[in-house]
Amino acid sequence: MKTRGLGHAGWLMLLVVVAGCATAPPAELAGPVDAVTPGEARAAPEQHVGRTVRWGGTVARVENLSGETRVEVVSRELDSGGRPRDEDRSDGRFLALFDGFLDPAIVSNGREITVVGALGPSVSRAIGAYPYRFPVVKVARWKLWPPRPEVVYREYAPHPYWYDPWYPWRRYPYGW
């Protein structure tokens, strides 16, 4: 007896299932971008000016100036959906420049953000007393991610009214 493969319908169904598992950045972050990391932009800033990037990370500081807001971001690698990964690694920091006012109570320290925009000339500023060269992104589109749910670990505890009438004898044949 000759066995057959999945057939056209089976392959189509498999393709639909696999495609449904893939994630893509939300609409506000979608579009073509250049594969430049913050570390590469910091190392050779003049080489990357004008390139479009999609970077994200954790907000470290928000400065509202006349007509614009500067957001200092600790960069994180993005997942396939465009959200910064929750990990203790960074490729440095960058400045995101926004037109207008952003409320620092909303875009606050510790929030996750992803920006899409063009790289501008880098800026030298201090982090504490350490001089640091920041790549600068002129933001065209952005997404402030909702806080991640807190994970609560609970130790197992039996119900307080639980009672086992066979308690000491149940383990007898097996010993403890």
- The domain segmentation of the chain, as residue ranges, is 24-144
Is residue 95 within 8 A of residue 70, CB to CB? The reply is yes
Record the pTM: 0.72
For residue 156, what are the contacts with CB-CB under 8 A and spacing of at least 6? none
Lowest mean pLDDT among 69-83, 89-103, 107-121, 142-156: 142-156
Q: Answer yes or no: is pLDDT of 175 > 60.
A: no
Residue with more model confidence, 174 or 113: 113
Class of the CATH-defined domain 24-144: mainly beta
Is residue 146 within 8 A of residue 32, CB to CB? The reply is no
Mean per-residue pLDDT, 9-22: 60
Tokens 């498999």 locate to: 14
pLDDT score of 97: 96
Mean per-residue pLDDT, 24-31: 76
Question: What value does the mean pLDDT of the chain take?
Answer: 83
For residue 102, what are the contacts with CB-CB under 8 A and spacing of at least 6? 62, 64, 69, 71
Residue with more model confidence, 34 or 27: 34
